Amino acid sequence: MDTVLPRSTLAAPDIAQPAWPVWRVLLEYLRPHRIALLTGGLLSLVTGATGLALPLVARELIGALSTGSSVAGPLVLMTALVLGNAAIGALGSYVLQRTAESVVLTARRGLVARLLRLRVSAVDQSEPGDLMSRVTADTTLLREVTTSSLVGGVTGALTLVATVVLMGIMDIVLLGVTLASLVMAGVVIGLVVPKINRAAKRAQESVGAMGTALERMFGAVRMVKASGAEEREGERVEGAAVGAWQASVRAAKWSALAGNMAGVAAQIAFLAVLSVGGVRVASGAIDVATLVAFLLYVFYLMAPVGQLVRAVTQYPVGAAAVARIQEAERLPVEIAGQPARPAGMNAIPASVAFDEVRFRYRTELPEVHRGISFAVPAGGMTAFVGPSGAGKTTVFSLIERFYDADAGRILVDGREVRDWPITQLRAAIGYVEQDAPVLSGSLRENLLYGAPSAGEDELERVLRTARLDGLVASLPEGLETQVGHRGTKLSGGERQRVAIARALLRRPRLLLLDEATSQLDAVNEAALRATIADVAAETTVLVIAHRLSTVTMADRIVVMDAGMIRAVGTHAELVTDDDLYAELAATQFLAPAA
């Protein structure tokens, strides 16, 4: 029987090779469930076998009636076969459906695990809505292709062969009449299948486009409403939905044609067998019992033929889904490592150095960094300043290894970041992004997101440090308060403080702050500046800032411009020695230059 496997055994199969055919990919998904699948297939075959035995028993029953013999035996046997067929068929169907759901679960777990390890560059070049549709809609189609195409096709073919053999034993002439009708249907179905394949592929692509349109709309719903663009965004989603509908209807049309051709072929076969069989009964070539049994086989022939038609028509749908899943699995991923704990208490500050680093986001785009070099010793605070587009945030992304440099070296504690296990590297870093993302869930869940094992005392300390204790006290459910989708129930400043508290709770060796106080009022900003100064005594702090009040407290300032390091020094040194810094201090920062 099928069981839900432990998570450790449900890793995604290594099936990203583009040369692999769809059937082989499906077999890889089915491998963990082969025993349950085999059990369900055998039960289906037993169901078919009991069905094939019924016409033979019916012939014996008619023979007994014609000779006046007892019919008790055939009647009891027929009843047992009918009841057994129903019971075994129900059990087989349940086993197969359960197995199919487990295959979907396996595919989803594996695909989600892979998508979570995608390189940031791959995520940047993908549409989130389309990736979500591959996890939801495309994997769902594996359910049908597992039961209908693979198991249904195999059991249908075996049952069809067995039926044909029994029909041939009864009367070879009537078998020829039956097969002639089925061959005509097979030719039509063969012409229709490629059309189903193309329509199914377009339908899945349209579903992905619809997911992309929905994610775009809900990801910026306030801007959509403020811009009065509801109708335009609705038309975009509707266009994708109509595209999916048109392709699905086209696939349904050809599938219906194939299914009806099978039904028409079976009806033609029945009429032809009845006509030719009547002539053969009249001539004495066969008896009435044989004709009745043969007609029953014609009826039973419809089931395996229907299974084969469904297998043939469902396979292109599943193939299109598998192709899209494979595309996602071919996206580049980060090398997985053992989970690492945050740095924790008594962590030693980390040093950072860039040595002639060059980087561009894509080959067709200009370089963001054009050979930058600087060194930050362990401990203290270093500020990065410069015009927009100078490459400041990219420095942080390269330290975190969201991207890898095209040339040069990036060192943390004197060790190339490429040589660090990526989980250990990130465990040593606390990172506060510019937009301070907050996830749907409770305030507590967001705070503990980077340090789930932190205790209550540590949590209370960080709440006071980030000046969130007053907010928590004012909330009706305290830390259990739901913050809403993307933290919409919190203000911008509150989201920033949550992000800072989340980073501080990790007690990182290296703290990266990207405009971490830009949305705070003057009182909270001053308090957090003092907090950052205290943190800098215990760890290494790198901060991107546009406020002079933050920059002047730094031990050193790195001035960047057009992907280059322009100058490094203190505020007092740079305001007199570097024209760009002096201009920024006088115009861009919120306080005048000293």
> Per mean pLDDT, which range of 34-38, 435-439, 498-502, 577-581 is the poorest?
435-439
Domain that holds residue 168: 17-329
Domain contains 125: yes
Name which residue leads in pLDDT, 346 or 206: 206
Q: What is the 3-state secondary structure (H, E, C) of 410-456?
A: EEECCEEHHHCCHHHHHHCEEEECCCCCCCCCEHHHHHCCCCCCCCH
Identify which has the larger pLDDT, 483 or 343: 483
Least confidently predicted of 166-175, 216-225, 440-449:
216-225
Q: Are residues 220 and 294 in the same domain?
A: yes
8 is written with which tokens? 């450790």
**Can you give the pLDDT at residue 343?**
54
Average pLDDT score over the chain: 79
Assign 594 a pLDDT band (cuts: 50, 70, 90): very low
Q: Is residue 539 within 8 Å of 508, Cβ to Cβ?
A: yes
Q: How far is CA 209 from CA 104, 141, 198, in A?
A: 22, 17, 17
Better-scored residue on pLDDT, 391 or 520 = 391
C-alpha angle 67-70-71 in degrees, rounded to nearest 5: 100
Q: Average pLDDT of 72-94?
A: 83
Question: Do 258 and 386 sit in the same domain of this protein?
Answer: no
548 assigned to some structural domain: yes
Judged by average pLDDT, the poorest of 236-250, 354-368, 573-587 is: 236-250
pLDDT at position 416: 93
Mark out the alpha helices in 3-33 (DSSP H runs).
Answer: 22-30
What is the domain-level CATH number for residue 65?
Answer: 1.20.1560.10
pLDDT score of 254 more than 70: yes
Rounded CA gap, 329 and 122, in Å?
A: 11
* Same domain, yes or no: 310 and 384: no
Clarify whether residues 319 and 434 are in a common domain: no
pLDDT at 447 over 60: yes
How many CB atoms are closer than 10 A to CB 521? 10
Task: Report the SS3 class of residue 126.
Answer: coil
Q: Is the pLDDT of residue 236 over 50?
A: yes
Length reported for the chain: 594
Q: Which pLDDT band, with edges at 50, 70 and 90, does 340 fall under?
A: low
Regarding predicted confidence, which is higher, 344 or 141?
141
- Compute the average pLDDT of residues 172-187: 80
- Tens digits of residue pLDDT in 368-413: 999 999 999 998 899 999 888 888 999 999 999 999 999 999 999 9
Residue 359 domain-assigned (yes or no) = no
Q: What average pLDDT score do residues 480-509 get?
A: 83
The pLDDT of residue 341 is: 59
Q: Identify the three-state secondary structure at position 97.
A: helix
Asked if residue 2 has pLDDT above 50, the reply is no
Asked if residue 385 and residue 274 are part of one domain, the reply reads no
Domain final residue, candidates 329, 350, 371? 329
Residue predicted with more confidence, 495 or 145: 495
Task: Give whichever of 56-60, 155-159, 573-577 has the largest mean pLDDT.
Answer: 573-577
pLDDT in tens, 260-274: 776 777 778 778 888
pLDDT value, residue 375: 93
DSSP state of 478: G
Spatial separation of the C-alpha atoms in residues 47 and 517, rounded to whole Å: 70
The pLDDT value given to residue 272:
82
Residue matched to tokens 């046997």: 77
Mean pLDDT of 299-317: 76
442 and 542, same domain (yes or no) = yes
The strand order across the sheet containing 352-359 reads: 369-376, 352-359, 407-412, 415-416
- Nearest-CA neighbor of 324 among 92, 133, 190? 133
Looking up tokens 């060796």 gives 509
CA distance 176 to 129: 54
Range of lowest pLDDT (14-18, 321-325, 524-528): 14-18
514 pLDDT more than 50: yes
Cα dihedral sign, 365-370-371-374: negative
Question: Which token pair is 352?
Answer: 């950072």
How confident is the model at residue 225, as a pLDDT? 67
Look at residue 17 and tell me whether its pLDDT is greater than 70.
no
Which pLDDT score is estimated for 85? 79
When divided into structural domains, the chain yields a total of 2
Distance in angstroms (rounded) separating the CA atoms of residues 257 and 510: 65
Distances (CA, A) of 213 to 131, 241, 347, 456: 12, 10, 45, 42
Q: Phi/psi at 485 (nearest 5 deg)?
A: -60, 120
Q: Is the predicted pLDDT of residue 222 greater than 70, yes or no? A: no
- What average pLDDT does the segment 232-261 reach? 76
| Tokens encoding 343 | 């740095």
Confidence grade of residue 11 (pLDDT, cut at 50, 70, 90): very low
Mean pLDDT of 323-346: 71
Asked if residue 49 lies in contact with residue 36, where contact means CB atoms within 8 angstroms, the answer is no
Question: What is residue 249's predicted lDDT score, i.e. its pLDDT?
Answer: 81
In angstroms, rounded to a whole number, what is the distance separating the alpha carbons of residues 125 and 163? 54
8 located within any domain? no
Structure confidence at residue 499 (pLDDT): 86
- Contact call for residues 480 and 472 (beta carbons, < 8 A): no
CA 296 to chain centre: 47
Q: What is the DSSP letter of 438?
A: -
Task: Report yes or no on 240 lying in a domain.
Answer: yes
Q: What is the mean pLDDT of residues 12-20?
A: 45
**From CA 199, how far away is CA 320, in angstroms rounded?**
9
Give the rounded distance of the alpha carbon of 337 from its chain centre: 21
Residue 388 lies inside a defined structural domain of this protein: yes
Residue 112 Cα distances to 133, 140, 244, 445, angstroms: 12, 14, 24, 21
Tell me if 410 is assigned to some domain.
no
What DSSP state is assigned to residue 389? T
In the predicted structure, residue 486 carries a pLDDT above the cut 50: yes
Residue 276, classified by CB atoms within 10 Å of its CB into exposed (0-12), middle (13-18) or buried (19+), is: middle
| For residues 574-584, average pLDDT | 87
Longest dimension (CA), the chain: 121
Which candidate, 397, 411, 403, 392, places its Cα nearest to that of 354? 411
Structure tokens at 329: 């699995």
CATH number for position 539: 3.40.50.300
Predicted pLDDT at 565: 92
Query: Which two tokens mark 31?
Result: 């491998």
Handedness of CA 455, 457, 463, 466 (dihedral sign): negative
What average pLDDT does the segment 413-441 reach? 86
Residues 290 and 434 in one domain: no
pLDDT (mean) for 193-213: 74
Phi and psi at 366, nearest 5°, equal -70, 165
Residue 397 and residue 315 share a domain: no
CA end-to-end distance (rounded Å), the chain: 77
Residues 388 and 325 in one domain: no
Pairing relationship of beta strands 510-514 and 380-385 according to DSSP bridges = unpaired
Lowest mean pLDDT among 223-232, 325-334, 444-453: 223-232
Chain segment 27-44, per-residue pLDDT in tens:
787 888 888 888 888 888
Confidence of residue 336 (pLDDT cuts 50, 70, 90): low
DSSP labels, 223-286: HHHHTT-HHHHHHHHHHHHHHHHHHHHHHHHHHHHHHHHHHHHHHHHHHHHHHHHHHHHHHTSS
Give the percent of the chain with pLDDT over 70: 89
354 inside domain = no
Report helix angle 288-329 to 172-219, nearest 10: 30
Residue 528, pLDDT above cutoff 80? no
Q: Are residues 287 and 228 in the same domain?
A: yes
Q: Is the pLDDT of residue 71 over 70?
A: yes
Least confident residue range of 90-94, 167-171, 305-309? 305-309
Q: What percent of the chain has pLDDT over 90?
A: 10
| Token code pair at residue 378 | 């362990």
Q: Is 39 helix (H, G, I), strand (E, B) or coil?
A: helix
- For residue 369, the one-letter residue type is H
Q: pLDDT (tens digit, 9 = 90+) per residue, 535-578?
A: 787 889 999 887 777 788 888 999 999 889 999 998 888 888 88
pLDDT band, residue 150 (cuts 50/70/90): confident
* The pLDDT value given to residue 167: 81
Beta strands per DSSP E along 435-477: none
Residues 75 and 176 in one domain: yes
Give the C-alpha separation, 515 to 550, whole Å. Answer: 10
- Asked whether residue 130 falls in the same domain as residue 268, the answer is yes
Distance from CA of residue 290 to its chain's centroid?
56
Instruction: Please state, in angstroms and rounded to a whole number, the distance separating the CA atoms of residues 443 and 502.
Output: 10
User: For position 371, what pLDDT does the model report?
Assistant: 92
What pLDDT, on the 0 to 100 scale, is given for residue 231?
78
